[in-house]
Chains A and B, each alone.
Chain A
Amino acid sequence: KAGVTQTPRYLIKTRGQQVTLSCSPISGHRSVSWYQQTPGQGLQFLFEYFSETQRNKGNFPGRFSGRQFSNSRSEMNVSTLELGDSALYLCASSLSRGTGAADTQYFGPGTRLTVL
């Protein structure tokens, strides 16, 4: 099976702009989670989607939003970009079988966002 893919791989934006990142999960995976990775803070949870519904959200401002489509592909959007938004944005997909047990999360290669 093909792995998790993310587009674009690199982005350079200026403050105040907005950006949309895309994530295609492994075929058959229904859950997509998004993380922000920075050198000082590690991997911080942004949100998780399952069947087009956001099931959980991390402690990020409302400028960060996401959605999931019926084919499980997911997008995240950051509006009014700030310098501090520069980071590697990773998505991860999992089966989410609904048994109550956690399923392994498989990560994409990430999108490197630089805000100037």
Chain B
Amino acid sequence: GENVEQHPSTLSVQEGDSAVIKCTYSDSASNYFPWYKQELGKRPQLIIDIRSNVGEKKDQRIAVTLNKTAKHFSLHITETQPEDSAVYFCAAYSGGSNYKLTFGKGTLLTVNP
């Protein structure tokens, strides 16, 4: 089955700096890669996603890149703000009839004012 590794497990940055979180996946059939943000005590919320036919996607301060050959994808947050502090999860969705999202174990991002 699919296996998703996420690094680092914790990340601390100064306000205004950039943050990068990296994930690798094992199933070459995976074709959809969402990123979720979970604030303390709240539900995971989708922040950006990318499909396997695209190499990069941006939404304001957030970008995701995908390297299908290397089977890894990354989340980039620029100009970080204290409200970006949360746990971020990457996930991979295998195509076909799996109907399953496999999540990484999460990255706790702390943005220090």
Contacts and interface: CB of A to CB of B under 8 A. Distances in A.
A42 B49 contact: no
B49 A104 contact: yes
A45 B43 contact: no
B54 interface: no
A104 B46 CA distance: 8
Contacts of A41: 105
Interface string B86-113: 0001000101111111111110000000
B72 to A, nearest CB: 18
A33 B101 contact: yes
A41 B9 CA distance: 12
B44 A45 contact: no
A31 B101 CA distance: 13
Interface stretch (A12-20, A67-75, A107-115): A107-115
A103 B82 CA distance: 30
